[in-house]
Amino acid sequence: MTASSVTEHAIGAAIPRQRHGLAAMAHDSWVVARRNLRRMLRIPEIVVFGLMQPVMFVLLFSYVMGGAIKIPMAGSSSSIYIQFLMAGIFAQTVTFAVAGASAGIAEDMTKGLVDRFRSLPMTRSAVLVGRTLADLCQTAFTLVVLALVALAVGWRIHHNVLKAVAAFALLLLLGYAFSWIGALIGLSVRSPEAATSAGLIWLFPLTFISNAFVPISSMPGWLQAVAYWNPFSSTVQACRNLFGNQVGPVDQAWPMQHAALVSVCSSLVVMAVFSWLSVRKYRSAVQ
């Protein structure tokens, strides 16, 4: 019996036929999520290489560029910049998980695994929900490791634990919302290689035209408006507030003054729109 047939048999056996509606979707999604989590454990390179990029960003920005970037009314030094930087690195890490989600779904589509799922008594949306939940678990693990690295290089949380937990919750919400963009990309391209490229190329302007690495006030006037309303910027600002990492004056733009609200609303909108588009695309692809 091949590995794919074992997976098919296990999933088919685990799905109770008597469940209906949301209960069936929740159960089926968890079964698919466990399948993807087991795959990550069996191929640890997926997790290891996913950790390397954000760790390198922390080290490069803090030690190489930190002393050269000046924060208004705070000066320029590596110790100051690391406090400013980490919320941006955390947010970048959760959004860059989009590439892995898009490549994974594209691989499942090209290898015929999704076609085998079609023959099983399971809800169709469970394939995508399960995949995105598994990616969320990997993202959470990556954030834990990244936070430990940040603490080692001088980053600190200056508020209480509850506010820190709220900040990480905002990051995971943003990452989960963006994973649905990755799902749509993975369903729309013909190969995992194309999915990886398509999943990354638009993320660089999104993350750099923001307050993640430099203050928005340092940008040209026309670009500042884009950066202020970038959902990435609101999440970064909300996390800085909750971690107690605000360095220099807070921007007076409305999205920055209500960063947590804008972050939650924008993440929920992205999730609602792209989950609907992804499920619709998936259903049309497997018909």
Single pTM value for the model: 0.85
Tell whether the model's pLDDT for residue 14 goes beyond 50. Answer: no
Torsion of the alpha carbons at 37, 42, 43 and 48, rounded to the nearest 10: 70
Average pLDDT over residues 204-229: 90
Q: Check residue 13 and give its pLDDT.
A: 45
Helix (H) or strand (E) holding 58: helix 45-59
- Please answer whether residues 83 and 156 qualify as being in contact, where contact means their C-beta atoms are separated by less than 8 angstroms: yes
Looking at the chain, the whole-number percentage of residues with pLDDT higher than 70 is 86
**Can you read off the two tokens belonging to residue 285?**
């692809």
Q: Is 64 exposed, middle or buried (0-12, 13-18, 19+ CB in 10 A)?
A: exposed
Tell whether the model's pLDDT for residue 124 goes beyond 80. Answer: no
Average pLDDT over residues 80-101: 88
Q: Check residue 16 and give its pLDDT.
A: 46
Mean pLDDT, the chain, rounded, equals 83
Average pLDDT over residues 82-96: 91
Tell whether the model's pLDDT for residue 96 goes beyond 90. Answer: no
Average pLDDT over residues 159-164: 92
The ranges assigned to domains in the chain are: 20-286
125 residue type, one letter:
S
